[in-house]
Structure 1
Amino acid sequence: MSAAYRHELKYIIYDYQYEELKSVLNAMLDQDKHSKLNGQYLIRSLYFDDLIHSAYNQREDGYYVRKKYRIRIYDYSDSLINLECKHKRESYIFKESLKLSKEEYHSLLNDDLNFLLDKNHNMAKDFYIESKTNLIKPAVIVDYEREAYVYDVGTVRITFDKNVRAAYKSDDIFNKEIPTYFVLKPNMMILEIKFTDILPEQIRKIFKVRNYTQTAASKYCMCVDKMREFTI
């Protein structure tokens, strides 16, 4: 499998900046095909980490190369369950993804991982090895609503991740009733810009004029920090 790295730029913005930017993007870009009638969809991810919190600490310590494993679903549905590994190298990312059945999802959470060895997928075997050698386990559930825009030139994807929140002490991603806690102020959200090679000039100008401050915000780390508030 070739590593198709893409650029990823992140910003924390306020509601008024979102409203201004949304009006511009609506005139230039298409909404993501997965968007619902309200223009967004819910993403829920269960992240994994080891006993010494390597995924968390590598981000906090500024490691040049790092990765995180997660299981991701959309709108609480079991119609699409993905086991993913997000690789990051400075501001470049690439994502590996493997579809799981619900039965396989439950097997994975029960540490019954032999089915991964039957998959013709490098990431499945990597996850198996990480689980057996580094003992990675479920760490935290991350929820947010995503509003996404796409632009074919440069495979640009611009997303607004709203209401980012952490789920308390649970690894049941299909449970809608898990208590969740916001990790940003109510008037704040995360803006992400992903693209291959070069950001098209007409898109670049939109953000250059507004001069947003770039951040290395990690939703996973934010949610781990929020959950640690309950253990101090």
Structure 2
Amino acid sequence: MTINGDKSRYKLRLRFYNDQPDSPVFFEVKRRVNDVIFKMRGGARKEAVPVMLAGQLPDPSRLVSQDPKHLFAIQKFMQLQQDLQATPKLHVAHQREAWIDPKTEAVRVTFDRHVLGEPEPTTRFSTHMNDSVRPFGDGVILELKFTDRFPNWMRELAETFDLVQCGAAKYCECIKMIGEERLADLVRNARI
């Protein structure tokens, strides 16, 4: 459930991995229905992002892949973004250590460290932050991810270490630390 008690929700996210101008930006739609998470994404070159956020599909040469599922993800992101009139609000960053089953990619274990958040009303795509908050301090977020069936070894891991399923919503925790009103003011003032 969300902080509002919603069992179903979605979020829009632009994901990038570094400051390099020629590296891609991924348009992601992440949906949660009850306890199941669905994610779709498609990538584009950074220079295409402003045009896309204005509601126009870029020239195909500006897309990372011509795969129909990636194009569908971009179109879905753009539709939802236009319907909501969503604009950038917050930059969330973290260091991720990911372990993936090389045979199937159906199982992933990730450790997220150094989670940072900062108001960001633009699409500057820089990893540098000036005035960030650290909602989890020095804590590490462990995520056990799987497709279809919960692996037995994950169950044993959870039992051995008394792990409990809980949320660690990086975006929401950053907003809480910054303050909703302060974030809204910072974003509004940056656009004037």
Report the TM-score, using the length of structure 2 for normalisation: 0.77
**Structure 1 residue aligned with 2:157:** 206
Does residue 75 of the first structure (1) align with residue 27 of the second (2)?
A: no
> Which 4+ runs in 1 deviate beyond 4 A?
116-120
Identity of aligned residues (%): 26
If each structure's strand is expressed as a fraction of its own residues, which one has the higher value? 1
Does residue 60 of the first structure (1) align with residue 3 of the second (2)?
A: yes
- 2-structure distance, mates of 1:116, 1:126: 14
- 2-structure distance, mates of 1:150, 1:123: 23
Report the TM-score, using the length of structure 1 for normalisation: 0.65
- From 134, 153, 156, the counterpart of 1:182: 134
CA RMSD after TM alignment:
2.6
Does the CA-based 8 Å contact 2:25-2:44 persist in structure 1? yes
Does the CA-based 8 Å contact 1:65-1:89 persist in structure 2? yes
- From 76, 88, 92, the counterpart of 1:138: 88
For structure 1, list consecutive stretches of 5 or more residues without a partner in the other structure.
Answer: 1-57
1:50-105 alpha-carbon deviations (Å, 9 max, x no partner): xxxxxxxx821121111111110113344232111011112211111111112212
- 2-structure distance, mates of 1:102, 1:230: 30
- 2-structure distance, mates of 1:154, 1:166: 29
- 1-structure distance, mates of 2:59, 2:33: 27
- 2-structure distance, mates of 1:173, 1:143: 14
Asked which structure has the greater RCO (Cα within 8 Å, sep 6+), the reply is: 1
Equivalent pairs, count: 172
For structure 2, list consecutive stretches of 5 or more residues without a partner in the other structure.
Answer: 61-65, 184-192
- From 210, 219, 224, the counterpart of 2:170: 219
Supply the AA of the counterpart residue of 1:112: A
- 1-structure distance, mates of 2:18, 2:75: 28
Task: Return the offset for 1:230.
Answer: 7.8
173 and 203 in structure 1: CA distance in 2 versus 1, 3 angstrom threshold: farther
Does the CA-based 8 Å contact 2:28-2:74 persist in structure 1? no
- 2-structure distance, mates of 1:102, 1:84: 15
**Structure 2 residue aligned with 1:112:** 54
168 and 183 in structure 1: CA distance in 2 versus 1, 3 angstrom threshold: same
- 1-structure distance, mates of 2:163, 2:47: 44
Does the CA-based 8 Å contact 1:141-1:171 persist in structure 2? no
- 2-structure distance, mates of 1:117, 1:59: 37
- From 86, 95, 100, the counterpart of 2:39: 95
- 1-structure distance, mates of 2:111, 2:105: 19
1:5-48 alpha-carbon deviations (Å, 9 max, x no partner): xxxxxxxxxxxxxxxxxxxxxxxxxxxxxxxxxxxxxxxxxxxx
